[in-house]
DNA sequence: ATTTTAAGAGAATAATCATTCTCTTTCAAT
DNA sequence: ATTGAAAGAGAATGATTATTCTCTTAAAAT
C-alpha cells in the first residue's frame, strides 16, 4: 500500500520562506530551495507547480509564523500604545538574531521587488497592510481618552503603517538594533504626546 | 581622423535610469537597455563594462536628475518645514505622471532589492539617506524657535527619513496621489505641532 | 575621395537557472 | 519477502539573457 507523506505542503513553504525572506525572489534559486527545504524538486513541483506559486504560498506562512505572533497583543480589542510597542519590539528582537544584510520584512521587500510585477503578490501585500492598519487603528483609538474628540485616528494609523514600512526597510542595512528601537519608541512617544 | 562621440557615458546612464527605476535591476534586460538608450551593446559595454556597473552609475544620475531638483529649496541654510513640504510635493507630482505600479524611489527600491547583495549600491544608498537627513535636520532645526531648547532635532529628522522611505514604498502601489499628499501633510502638521 | 575610428546590428557564446525526466531508494501495508 | 506508491538524486531540457564577436555603416578630418 502507499507510503504516507512525511511532510506537508506547508512544511515546504515554511522552510522556503526563510530563503525567500533572506534573499528575495529573484536571487533565490530552486537549488537553494531544494537544499533549504530538504525536499526534492519533484516534490516541490508536485505540491506547488513552480517557484512563483511557492513564493506566493510563503505569504501565508509569513502571516502564521511571524505576523500573527507579533500582533498577538495588538489584535485584542483593548490594545493600546503599549501593544504597538510590543509589536515593534517583537520584530526588532527577531531582526536582532540576524546580521546585516538583515531580512527586513518579507512583505515590505515583496512590495518593491515582486508586487509591481505580480497581481497575486500585490493582493497579499494589500491584505497585510490592512491587517496592520486595523491593529494600529484599534490601539490608537483606545489610547484617546473617551472625553476627547475622535481626532483623526484612521489618519494617524495610516501614518504609522507608512513609518513601519520605512522602519523595516531601514532594518535591512542598519546594524544597530538599538537604533531601530530608538526610532520606534520616539515615534510612539510623539504619537502619545499628540493624543494627550 | 576619428569620428567624435555622439553621446556621453552620462547619456547612457540617464536613459538607463528610467528603465532600472521602473522595473528594478533583475527584471531589466540588456535588450531593454539597448532599446531604451538607443545605444548599441558594444558601446554600453565599452563605456561601463557590464549591467551592474551601469546600474551603479545610475545612482549618480538619479541624484542629478531627480534628487537635486527635488531638494533644491530644502538644501538652503534657511530652509524650514515649507521646504520639506516642497520636497514631498515635487516627488509626488513626479509620481503622478506615472500610473501604478509606480516607480517609487529608485534608492528605496534598491535598498531592498540590490543593496543587500552589493556593497557599492549599499554605499550609494547610505549616502543618499545622509543627504536627506542633512536637509531634514537643517529644516527642522530652523523651524524651532531660537528661544526653545534644542530638542531632539536629529532624532526627528531621522524619523522623517524613515517615514519618507515608507512613503515612497507605498507610492508604488497607491493609485491615489492625493492620498500620498495627505500622508505627507499630516506628518508635517504633527511635526510642526510637536515643535511648537 | 580616402582614411580612420565610432557606433550599430545582430549573430554567436556562455552561463544561469527553472522545469522536466529517468532511475533509484525507501517505507508501509500486506 | 513482496509490492506499490512516495520521495529522492541528479541528469537532461529549454529558456532566458549577459557578454562577446563579426561585419557593416557613418561621419569627420584630411
Q: How would you write A43-58 as a 3-class SS string? A: HHHHHHCCHHHHHHHH
Same domain, A116 and A54: no
B3 sits within 7 Å of strand C by its CB: yes
B177 occurs within a structural domain: yes
Residues ≥6 apart with Cβ < 8 Å to A102: A95, A171, A172, A173, A174
Protein residues in reach of strand D (CB < 7 A): A 1-7, 34, 38-43; B 1, 3-4, 28-31, 41-42, 45, 49-52
Nucleotide whose C1' lies closest to the alpha carbon of residue A53:
C18
CATH code, domain with A41:
1.10.10.60
More confident site: B196 or B182: B182
Same domain membership, residue B169 and residue B92: yes
Question: Are residues B44 and B81 located together in one domain of the fold?
Answer: no
CB contact under 8 A, B158 and A112: no
Do B109 and B14 have their domain in common?
no
Separation of CA B75 and C1' C9 in angstroms? 46
Residues 6+ apart with CB under 8 A from A130: none
- Higher per-residue confidence, A148 vs B126: B126
- A102 part of a folded domain: yes
Q: Per the domain annotation, does A3 fall within a domain?
A: no
Instruction: Please report whether residue A183 resides in a domain.
Output: yes
What CA–CA distance (Å, rounded) separates B116 from B108? 12
Average confidence (pLDDT) over A158-174: 96
Domain end (from A58, A80, A96): A58
Does any strand C atom come closer than 7 Å to the Cβ of B117?
no
Quote the pLDDT of residue A150: 63
Domain count, chain B: 2
Q: Are residues B52 and B77 in the same domain?
A: no
Together in a domain, A44 and A77: no
Residues B161-176: tens digit of each pLDDT: 999 999 999 999 999 9
Nucleotide nearest to B3 (CA to C1'): D28
Pair A80, A145 in one domain: yes
Residue of B nearest to A191 (CA): B190
Q: What is the pLDDT, as a whole number, of residue B160?
A: 98
**Which of these, A90, A75, A100, lies nearest to A181 by C-alpha position?**
A90
Mutate to test the interface with B, among A123, A166, A188, A196 (most CBs of B within 10 A): A166
Residue B29: nearest nucleotide (C-alpha to C1'): D17
Instruction: Give domain status of residue B66, yes or no.
Output: no
Which sign does the torsion angle of CA A137, A140, A146, A151 carry? negative
CA dist B95 and A42 (Å) reads 44
Nearest CA in chain A to B102: A116
Same domain, residue pair B181 and B117:
yes
Please tell me whether residues A45 and A76 are part of one structural domain.
no
This prediction has a pTM of: 0.93
In a domain, B96, yes or no: yes
Distance, Å, B17 CA → C5 C1': 29
Is the minimum distance from the CB of A151 to strand C below 7 Å?
Answer: no
Kindly report the backbone phi and psi dihedral angles of residue B182, in degrees, each rounded to the nearest multiple of 5, phi listed first: -65, -45
Please give the full DSSP string across B65-110, using - where no structure is assigned.
IIIHHHTTTTTSTT--HHHHHHHHHHHHHHHTTS-SSP---HHHHH
- Residue A105 inside a domain? The answer is yes
Q: How far apart are CA A34 and CA A31, in angstroms?
A: 5
Q: What confidence tens digit (pLDDT) does each residue in B38-57 have?
A: 999 999 999 999 999 999 99
Put simply, the answer to whether B112 touches A172 (Cβ < 8 Å) is yes
Would you state the pLDDT for residue A148? 66
B40 CB less than 7 Å from any atom of strand C = yes
Identify whether A1 is part of a domain: no
B50 and B76 fall within a common domain: no
In chain A, the residue whose alpha carbon lies closest to the alpha carbon of B161 is: A166
| Nucleotides of chain C touched by protein CB (<7 A) | 3-11, 17-22, 26-30
In angstroms, how far is C10 C1' from B86 CA?
47
Residue A29 approaches strand C within 7 Å at CB: yes
* pLDDT value, residue B8: 87
Average pLDDT over residues B91-101: 95
Average pLDDT value for residue range B88-113: 96
Domain limit, last residue, from A58, A81, A97: A58
Query: Which residue in the set A24, A159, A170 is minimally distant from B187, CB to CB?
Result: A159
Do A172 and B26 count as a contact with CB atoms less than 8 A apart?
no
SS3 content of chain B, % helix, strand, coil (to 5): 70, 0, 30
Give the residue numbers spanning the domain of A191: 71-195
- Cα B42 from Cα B119, distance rounded (Å): 27
Shared domain check, A92 and A25 = no
Which pLDDT tens digit goes with each residue over A8-17?
Answer: 888 899 999 9
Pair B125, B99 in one domain: yes
pLDDT tens across A39-68, in order?
Answer: 999 999 999 999 999 999 999 999 999 999
Amino acid at each position: 500500500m502507499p507510503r504516507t507523506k512525511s511532510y506537508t505542503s506547508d512544511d515546504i513553504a515554511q522552510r522556503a520562506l526563510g530563503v525567500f525572506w533572506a534573499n528575495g525572489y529573484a536571487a533565490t534559486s530552486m537549488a537553494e530551495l531544494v537544499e533549504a527545504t530538504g525536499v526534492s524538486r519533484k516534490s516541490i513541483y508536485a505540491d506547488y507547480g513552480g517557484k512563483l506559486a511557492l513564493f506566493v504560498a510563503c505569504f501565508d506562512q509569513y502571516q502564521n509564523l511571524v505576523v500573527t505572533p507579533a500582533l498577538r497583543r495588538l489584535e485584542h480589542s483593548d490594545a493600546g500604545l503599549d501593544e504597538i510597542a510590543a509589536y515593534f519590539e517583537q520584530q526588532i528582537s527577531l531582526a536582532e538574531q540576524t546580521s546585516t544584510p538583515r531580512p527586513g520584512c518579507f512583505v515590505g521587500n515583496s512590495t518593491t521587488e515582486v508586487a509591481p510585477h505580480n497581481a497575486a503578490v500585490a493582493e497579499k501585500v494589500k491584505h497585510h497592510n490592512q491587517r496592520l492598519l486595523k491593529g494600529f487603528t484599534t490601539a490608537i483609538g483606545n489610547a484617546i481618552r473617551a472625553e476627547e474628540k475622535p481626532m483623526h485616528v484612521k489618519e494617524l494609523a495610516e501614518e504609522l503603517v507608512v513609518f513601519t514600512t520605512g522602519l523595516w526597510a531601514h532594518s535591512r542595512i542598519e546594524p544597530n538594533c538599538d537604533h531601530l528601537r530608538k526610532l520606534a519608541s520616539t515615534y510612539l512617544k510623539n504619537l502619545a504626546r499628540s493624543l494627550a
